[in-house]
Amino acid sequence: MTPSSISFEPISFDDLPGWRDDNHLAAWNAFLVSCGPVLKAGPKDAKPGSAGSPQELLDICARAMAIAKSKTPQTIEGARTFFEAHFRPNRVTGSDQPGLLTGYYEPVIKGSRTPDEVFKVPIYRRPPDLVNMVPESERGAKSAALTHKRKTSRGLEPYFTRSEIEEGGLAGLGLELLYLKDAVDAFFMQVQGSGRIELPNGDKVRITYDGKNGYPYTSIGRVLIDDGHLTADEMSLKTLKKWLKADKARAIPVMRKNHSYVFFKELTGEQAKAPIGVNNIPLQPLRSLAVDTSYYAIGTPIYVDAPQLNHATPSGQFHQLMIAHDVGSAIKGSERGDIYFGSGDKAGRLAGITKQPGHLYALLPIDRSHAHKTVSGGP
């Protein structure tokens, strides 16, 4: 994205399409689950080009947690009053790219802790020589450069590519976490960043992102469109999977054009109750949003207006308050959002057909949003 001058222009809540019809209690619960992790992460300096004050957001989180600890039952009306009392909506202006909403989900896949004739595709733990070059919460915003590298006796070097890993670069190191049946399923689980694995005995384990090899994400869907194998109108997650699985031999070199490779860890205890975003925030279906942290601090409430996204809600239109809970290597821009749809096949079908225009309205702490705020910068 070319650097541009982005403005966050204060507006009223009445200017938000469908604001009063939203379930603000669901948004409150999503905001609340991120407040603990946001407070634990601590204050951060505001970035040039970003919306709002991270410290003021922390202060509001502390107030929200105090309300929750009082055990006073929250209501839809009370939640709406809270957001209106502490935030003011801001329209994004000056962006050089139109707003776009996509979706992601947690796949449920059969797998095994040990390899056999059926389960042959390894899922790897984070290697001990992997070094973060940027905080994980910044990996999407700064993905144009290598976000992770490999520590060697010669210093830091680029990590193995997807091709090098799949050809045995990590074999024999004891890093295998689980094994899946299908390389295409493993690839898409890496794209989604999490998975729920059903073991042969019926147990299910939840695994989540734990680092990557550092390379920028390449959309293989775009590769297939550019090479003339599929059209843009045909492209969806379902169509892409079908094309790849129809011929595994042709699928491998296509998938390897995405050099990015993701490592996983198994979640246990309380953390295993839900897939997690950055800072160990439990993801909330249709309320968690992956954003570009060049513009939005994690934990920021963001109102999403996407009237053409008509498959996500019973009303047929998507006007909903969401919370910035996650990031992604492909999520870049001031009006770019990735909606978390939930776990399983139904969520996957909905996420897979989500690619609609829309607008993001940042709810910024009210003390800092009375004046028109213009900032320069971008990813």
Could you identify the residue written with the tokens 């599929």? 230
pLDDT reading at 104 higher than 60: yes
- 53 and 132 inside one domain: no
Q: What is the DSSP string of 228-240?
A: TSS-TTT--HHHH
- 266 and 327 inside one domain: no
pLDDT reading at 371 higher than 60: no
Q: What percentage of the chain has pLDDT greater than the value 90?
A: 79
| Three-class DSSP category at 37 | helix
Contact between 295 and 6 (Cβ < 8 Å): yes
Q: Which of 272, 296, 329 is the last residue of a domain?
A: 272
Residue 298: give its domain's CATH number.
Answer: 2.40.40.10
The number of angstroms, rounded, from the C-alpha of 251 to the middle of its chain's C-alpha atoms is 25
Assign 144 a pLDDT band (cuts: 50, 70, 90): confident
The C-alpha atoms of residue 58 and residue 34 are separated, in whole angstroms, by 11
User: Residue 180 has what pLDDT?
Assistant: 98
Contact between 63 and 48 (Cβ < 8 Å): no
Q: What is the mean pLDDT of the chain?
A: 91
Q: What is the pLDDT of residues 217-272, one digit of tens each?
A: 999 999 999 999 999 999 989 999 999 999 989 999 999 999 999 999 999 999 99
- 365 and 321 inside one domain: yes
Residue 235: give its domain's CATH number.
Answer: 2.40.240.50
The C-alpha atoms of residue 335 and residue 358 are separated, in whole angstroms, by 8
Q: Which of 255, 272, 289 is the last residue of a domain?
A: 272
- 112 and 211 inside one domain: yes
Name the β-bridge partners of 102. Answer: 338, 355
The C-alpha atoms of residue 278 and residue 217 are separated, in whole angstroms, by 18
Q: What is the pLDDT of residues 9-54, one digit of tens each?
A: 999 999 999 999 999 999 999 999 999 999 998 877 666 556 667 7
Number of structural domains found in the chain = 2
Contact between 44 and 54 (Cβ < 8 Å): yes
- 123 and 234 inside one domain: yes
DSSP 252: H
CA-to-CA dists, residue 16 to 9, 10, 53, 318, 362, angstroms: 13, 11, 22, 12, 11
Assign 141 a pLDDT band (cuts: 50, 70, 90): confident
Sheet holding 155-157, edge to edge: 130-132, 148-152, 155-157
Q: How far apart are the first and last CA of the chain?
A: 6
- 223 and 295 inside one domain: no
Provide CB contacts within 8 A for 323, sequence distance 6+: 27, 30, 31, 34, 284, 287, 288, 289, 299, 300, 301, 302
- 138 and 197 inside one domain: yes
Phi-psi region of 324 (alpha: psi -120 to 50; beta: other; left: phi over 0): beta
- 66 and 111 inside one domain: no
Q: Which of 226, 255, 272 is the last residue of a domain?
A: 272
Q: How many residues does the chain have?
A: 379
User: Residue 372 has what pLDDT?
Assistant: 39
Assign 142 a pLDDT band (cuts: 50, 70, 90): confident
The C-alpha atoms of residue 113 and residue 203 are separated, in whole angstroms, by 11
Assign 351 a pLDDT band (cuts: 50, 70, 90): very high
Lowest mean pLDDT across 73-87, 135-149, 199-213, 277-291 = 135-149
pLDDT reading at 200 higher than 80: yes
- 119 and 264 inside one domain: yes
User: Residue 374 has what pLDDT?
Assistant: 37
The C-alpha atoms of residue 180 and residue 226 are separated, in whole angstroms, by 30
- Kindly give the interhelix angle for 237-246 and 183-192, rounded to the nearest 10 degrees: 150
Q: What is the pLDDT of residues 275-320, one digit of tens each?
A: 999 999 999 999 999 999 989 999 999 999 999 999 988 888 899 9
Q: Could you tell me the two tokens for 358?
A: 């829309």
The C-alpha atoms of residue 168 and residue 163 are separated, in whole angstroms, by 9
Give the structural domain span for 346: 4-102+280-377
- 135 and 198 inside one domain: yes
pTM for the model stands at 0.89
Q: Could you tell me the two tokens for 114?
A: 């040990």
- 185 and 227 inside one domain: yes
Assign 72 a pLDDT band (cuts: 50, 70, 90): confident
- 127 and 245 inside one domain: yes
Please state whether beta strands 355-357 and 373-377 pair in parallel, antiparallel, or not at all (unpaired): unpaired
